[in-house]
Structure 1
């Protein structure tokens, strides 16, 4: 796939998965009156044109977190939201993203799309301002990288300590009866199959066992940021051993 190309797949009624050349995952969630684009990937094409060929509704863009593979091309859109705690991530990685037009979005905010409601839940850990979006009526959770995509990365610069991340996961566990499918930020790495909600429980166990010392990681062989990894059930946790508490 060329850098300026996108591909869409209908994964749920009125929910499209959109991928770019790096297989980053974006989700177009359509309501009766408005639509939300969750993340904007890292492609270099005309994403707005692509999306507007799928939905004619007024469009809001919600960014799950400020890493480069989820936030590029936001300048193509008029209404963009992201938790402002992640401005710190833009600074850490020296990303040339204009922040003056990014509106803040916080825990508990409800996006009314007409016949569909999306709730924003803050899940800090992967980044300070990571959010997920819950479609309670349809039992769907859109997680960005807050719950990872096969491998949950907590070893990057700017990640919170594992003990802080664990509190975020506990908060999300309180809502586990409200979602059945988890659509993450790199769905192709999961063979285009969303996680079931019990993935969250496996991830919690992985974090708990690293924090307690019950699980000891091995050097992580992928990416440029090092770290160690452990696996528990369906979840693989990648972490920095110097950033546990």
Structure 2
């Protein structure tokens, strides 16, 4: 796939998975009245035009977090929501994103699409403003990278300490009876299959065991940010040993 191309497939009733040339995942979620595009990927094509081929409904954008592979085409759209805690991430990485018109979005807000409601849940950790969407009626969670995509990256500049991240995970776990599938930010990495909710509990155990010292990681061989990694069940946690507590 070229950098200006996109591909999509229907993964749930009223939910299109869209991927760009790097295999990044974003989701077009439909209601009767409008649609939400959750993240905008890293391609350099006409994403807005591509979306218009999928729906004639009004489309608003929600950014899960302000890393390149989730935000780079956001400026093609008129109405973009992002937790403003992540503005510091845009600044930290000196990203060429105009965020001046981004609307803030906060924990507990409900987005009514018409016969489909999405609840905003903040899960700070991967970034300070990481946000997930809960579709309670359909038992779906759209998570970006807030709880990882097979490998949960907590070694990046701007990540919160693991102790703070654990509090976010505990809080999300209290809602786990409200979702059965987790559609994360890099679905190609899990053969285009969402995680079951049990993945969240494996991730919690991995974080707990690193904090307690029960698990000590090995050097992480991928990416440019180093770190150590541990595995527990379905979850692989990558972390900075200087940013645990």
Q: What is the aligned length?
A: 245
| 2:16 counterpart of 1:16 | yes
The TM-score, its normalising length taken from structure 1, stands at: 0.99
Equivalent position of 1:213 in the other structure:
213
Q: Distance in 1 between matches of 2:191 and 2:125?
A: 25
SS of residue paired to 1:102: coil
RMSD (Å) for aligned C-alpha atoms: 0.4
Question: SS state of the match for residue 54, structure 2?
Answer: coil
Pairing of 1:102-181 with structure 2 (within 5 A) = 102-181=102-181
Q: Could you say which residue in structure 1 is the equivalent of 2:88?
A: 88
- The answer for the alignment partner of 1:36 in structure 2 is 36
SS in 2 for 1:96: coil
1:120-175 superposed Cα distances (whole Å, 9 cap, x missing partner): 00000000000000000000000000011110000000000000000000000000
Q: 3-state SS of the aligned residue for 2:75?
A: helix
What TM-score, normalized to structure 2?
0.99
Give 5+ residue unaligned stretches, structure 1. Answer: none
Could you say which residue in structure 2 is the equivalent of 1:54? Answer: 54
Task: Give distance in 1, aligned partners of 2:241 and 2:220.
Answer: 12
1:194 and 2:194 correspond: yes
**1:106-132 CA deviation, whole Å, 9 max, x = no partner?**
000000000000000000000000000
Structure 2 unaligned runs (5+)?
none
Q: In the aligned structure 1, how far is the partner of 2:10 from the partner of 2:120? A: 22
Structure 2 Cα separation of the partners of residues 21 and 90 of structure 1: 22
Aligned residue runs from structure 1 range 61-100, under 5 A: 61-100=61-100
Whole-angstrom distance in 1 between the partners of 2:96 and 2:5: 22
What is the SS of the residue equivalent to 1:146? coil
Q: CA deviation at 1:96?
A: 1.4
Measured in 1, the distance between the counterparts of 2:169 and 2:116 equals: 25
Q: Which moved more, 1:91-100 or 1:13-22?
A: 91-100
Find runs of 4+ consecutive structure 1 residues off by over 3 angstroms: none
Equivalent-residue separation in structure 2 for 1:54 and 1:188 (angstroms): 21
